Amino acid sequence: MIYLATFAATALLLFLGGRCAGVLRCVLVLLGLLLPCFLAGFRDPSIGTDVYSYAIWMWEDASSLDLAGFLQTYDSVAALGWNVATWIVCGAGVPLGLYLFAIEAFCIAPVYFALRKLAPGGEWAGMLAWLLVFYAFSLNAMRQSVAIGLVLCSVVCIVQRNPARFLLCVIGACLFHQTAVIAVVLYPLARAVGWGRRAMFGKWQTVVLAVLILFAFGFIVAFGDRLVVLASMLKDSYSYQVNHIGSGDIGFSYLYVTICCLGIYLISRDDFGSSDTTEGEGKSLFDRMRVFKACSAIACVGGLMWQLNYVADTLGRLGAYGMVLLCVMAALLAANGRRSRGHLAVALSLFAVYFVAAVMVLGMEEVYPYASAILGLG
């Protein structure tokens, strides 16, 4: 239960911090964000399969090799940005726990920044949703989790209609995980379902959302094997998936999350009204209803992309770049106040069920039960 206790404490501290000002606000927010980082840093290396896959070896070599030698050694293992960051953090011979702490901080910080920009006042709920659905994933797929956070920052640039900064954020994400290049489709996709002053498809936005979801599912079924080959071109390690086409299975846990996102959208789409922003600059930058619709569509499409696991094991991780927008959905509901309070409770409860069932019962990501020699657990 240490995971759920940490998530609840983080959400509470962020909630209280959002209602304070000045130094007290900063202290509460910082404490809230540090709690899951400490949990990650204190864990045993057995928590999260990728710790032994690459993190522990990179940590050991970073303190004994110069930057050029380190980059040459791990050029085929990880992207440039990850390798440079690892060498900087570990070059001074820091303990493994501090390295794991830093990794989690790199994952969480951009998520909080994006939520604060997209849904002021609702950050606590967005972070809680992220913790329930993506925290266990971040203890395993660490490199991609950093990239996912940076992709979420690019969403801020979509709202601000700044394609140049959007591309810079995507490029930054690619420096940590090459598969983040798939995020370039977020800008036109968000525009297509009405992210901006005027929806591309007007009153047909809901129909377009449904069609996009069905199209994504059909595309996966029809062309999944070709997507595997494309992914292998982006990242060498995906050659494993090329050699194991047909070895995966349906990801029922992620299908559950997809259905949850669609259901949350359907019950909450009328909470905001046609436009709940003020006139002027605020209205030009932010229309919560349209952003909520776009996030719902992209989260559902991303969730269905997880079904690429049916084509080849682990390939479905590409869908995480879209599904992460579920935390923006939760943050927007929280920022919407009393009108969405009940629907927010439903959303967070559904995500909590996912964590308990998928992580604690089924053992996804291999992070439960939690073990820590430092804390005397496990």
CA nearest to 72, candidates 64, 237, 80: 80
- Cβ(73)–Cβ(58) below 8 Å: no
pLDDT band with cut points at 50, 70 and 90 for residue 273: low
pLDDT band with cut points at 50, 70 and 90 for residue 277: very low
pLDDT of res. 291 = 86
pLDDT of res. 220 = 62
Across 63-67, 294-298, 311-315, 349-353, least confident range: 311-315
Mean pLDDT of the chain, nearest integer: 84
What tokens does 49 get? 């399969």
How many degrees, rounded to 5, is the angle at CA 137 between CA 175 and CA 376? Answer: 115
Higher pLDDT, 57 or 313: 57
Neighbouring C-alpha atoms within 13 Å toward the C-beta of 205: 27
CA nearest to 85, candidates 105, 115, 114: 105
Residue 145 has pLDDT above 50, yes or no: yes
pLDDT band with cut points at 50, 70 and 90 for residue 285: very low
pLDDT of res. 198 = 53
User: What average pLDDT does range 21-44 have in this prediction?
Assistant: 95
Task: Write the pLDDT tens digit of every residue in 167-211.
Answer: 999 999 999 998 899 899 888 877 766 555 555 555 666 666 667
pLDDT band with cut points at 50, 70 and 90 for residue 281: very low
Global pTM?
0.88
pLDDT band with cut points at 50, 70 and 90 for residue 352: very high
User: What average pLDDT does range 64-74 have in this prediction?
Assistant: 89
Higher pLDDT, 236 or 112: 112
| Whole-angstrom distance, CA of residue 257 vs CA of residue 326 | 9
pLDDT of res. 284 = 35
User: What average pLDDT does range 261-286 have in this prediction?
Assistant: 65
Question: Which of 192-196, 279-283, 316-320, 351-355 has the largest mean confidence?
Answer: 351-355
Give the position of tokens 């002021």.
Answer: 120
Task: Write the pLDDT tens digit of every residue in 213-240.
Answer: 677 667 666 666 666 666 566 555 555 4
